[in-house]
Amino acid sequence: MKKLSIIFVLLTLVLTACSAPAEEPKEEITQITVLTSPDYPPYESIDATGKYVGFDIELMEAIAEIMGVEVVWKEQSFDGIIAGLQAGQGDMAISGMNVNEERKLSVDFSDIYKAGEALYTAVVLTEKGYTTIADLSGLKIGVQTGTVQESAMNALKDKYGFTVDSRASFLTIIEDIKLGRLDALVIDFENATQYSIANPELGTFKIEDADLDQDGGTAIALPKGSEWTEKVNAALAQLKEDGTLAELDAKWFNE
Amino acid sequence: MKVNFGAIVEYIPYLLGGILVTLEIAIAAALLGSLLALIFSLLSRKKGILQSAIKVFIDFFRGTPLLFQLAFFHFGIPQITGIIPTPYISALVVFSLNSSAYLAEILRAGIESIDKGQIEAAHALGVKSWDISFSIIIPQALRNVLPAIMNEFITLVKETSVVSMISLTDIMRRQQIVSAATYRFFEPLLVIGIIYLVMNIVLSNIGKILERKLKYD
């Protein structure tokens, strides 16, 4: 009996230790937790010291400054961001995320801070000579899970007769294109250009199809019904007005 | 193949920083998991409800993928209960419970390998059951299953590589982030491969030393 009671005391200890931090009071209003997946330059990446840098990072800091709060960055891989917001793991997320109807079912979006130009650009081996989406017929196309490019390519695959391979990270897709296991990666124009610069054997072309909704745009995602949405929009409007947004855009996208 | 370490050299300290995250989870889970496993293996020696409950627990944690358990605990449970665990707590709980399920089976095998005659003899000599468990059975059982336990610990270190899913920046996730920042894939991958290998070689050598110390002769 003595043995049993000791075991129960230990078990209780372990269980309380596990559940205690969950009972902490919610963060004070002086801080907001922002989720980001820092593997998407120039929107967000890290520098050599591990510090977050990029367009989204500076924009978020500017928004937070206007709202009078401090940003607590929380790293979250892109495919877990919406789940993270729904599970209350962050107050909002900025991660180069494009607004689309499917996502709107699960999260709210702020106003768009970067227009959705050239959302669909293909990265291919230059030597293959592909230049239009019709050339991709019968080929294998890689996309990142949970991206707008993924749903767009799935919608077009029957029309053009290609197959879609969804991966957690487009890094592995780039490697597979170089090795010949995949034929193309579909990604936004900015990233496509960066990949073709870093890998001279790769080229890009813009995907054009009447069914593609090119007008999306990049916005901050918030949990459904978040009280922050209005404040974020007000701050965004101010940054648009005073030219800060245009400055940041020019700084990170060389436009 | 064109390999260029120049591009990633300055990111190596960042990659090495992942060791702390990985070890923190692995060590805490190994300790907590061992403690739970010991409790489970002792409790399940007697038939009854407790034994069946532990069997269900072990079946669950051995029968579902670790990634599922992690996602279920971190993203699923908060939506039902409203309790929001931090990523570290989620990782700690899931890895501890998961490895306790495996370790409990290892320990059970170890305990069953002890000759019943020893226990009967101890009873006959009037040794208390607490002492029979902790001074006679467990020390011998542990020695017999030490290689299997070290195996489980090494597996644990490697399995922590799935925590990037719940926003912990461990070694494996850092490789992805550095690859993205430098647009280079192979070089950071090679670096983290070496990091894991060195960590586990150290761990398995500790196991060998322990084994030697615990030998009879």
**What pLDDT score does A241 carry?**
95
3-state helix vs strand vs coil in chain A, percent to 5? 45, 20, 35
Residue B126, burial from CB neighbour count under 10 angstroms (0-12, 13-18, 19+): exposed
Q: Which is more confidently placed, B46 or A164?
A: A164
Question: Does ipTM top 0.95?
Answer: no
Closest among A134, A144, A152, A199 to A170, alpha carbons compared: A144
Give whole-number Cα distances, A215 to A120, A152, A219, B161, in Å. 11, 13, 13, 38
Partner-chain residue, chosen from B39, B43, B165, that has the shortest CB–CB distance to A77: B165
> pLDDT by residue (tens digit) across B183-215?
788 889 999 999 999 999 999 999 999 988 887
Is the pLDDT at B176 greater than 80, yes or no? yes
| Cβ-based contacts of A74 with chain B (< 8 Å) | 167
The separation between CA B11 and the C-alpha centre of its own chain, rounded to angstroms, equals 28
Residues of B in Cβ contact (< 8 Å) with A2 = 130
User: Where does the pLDDT of residue B77 fall: very low under 50, low under 70, confident under 90, or very high at 90 and above?
Assistant: confident
Interchain contact, B39 vs A49, CB within 8 Å = no
Residue A46 has its nearest CB partner, among B87, B164, B177, at: B177
- Dist. CA B35–CA B39, nearest whole Å: 6
Q: Which alpha helices (DSSP H) does B9-137 contain, by range?
A: 12-43, 49-63, 66-71, 77-81, 87-112, 116-124, 129-131
Q: Name the residue among A10, A22, A171 with its Cβ closest to that of B83.
A: A22
Span A115-172, pLDDT tens digits: 876 789 999 999 999 999 999 999 999 999 888 899 899 999 999 999 999 988 888 8
- Cα B56 to Cα A79, B30, B64, distances in angstroms: 31, 21, 12
CA distance A52 to chain B (A): 10
Q: What ranges do the domains of chain B cover?
A: 5-216
Classify domain B5-216 at the CATH superfamily level: MetI-like (1.10.3720.10)
Query: Which of these, A190, A209, A215, lies nearest to A98 by C-alpha position?
Result: A215
Q: Which residues 138-197 on chain B approach chain A with CB closer than 8 angstroms?
A: 164-169, 173, 176-186
Pairing of strands A121-125, A140-144: unpaired
Mutate to test the interface with B, among A8, A10, A11, A18 (most CBs of B within 10 A): A18
With beta carbons under 8 A apart, name residues in chain B contacting A176: none
Secondary structure of residue A182 in the 3-state scheme = coil
Answer whether A47 sits within 8 Å of B181, measured CB to CB.
yes
pLDDT tens string A14-37:
554 444 444 444 545 799 999 999
Q: A46: distance to nearest CA of chain B, Å?
A: 6
Please answer whether residues B196 and B157 qualify as being in contact, where contact means their C-beta atoms are separated by less than 8 angstroms: yes
3-class DSSP state of A27: coil
User: Which residues are CB-neighbours of A124 under 8 A, at least 6 positions away?
Assistant: A130, A177, A183, A184, A185, A202, A203, A204, A205
Q: Please give the pLDDT value at position A21.
A: 45
Could you count the other beta carbons within 10 Å of the beta carbon of residue A55?
24
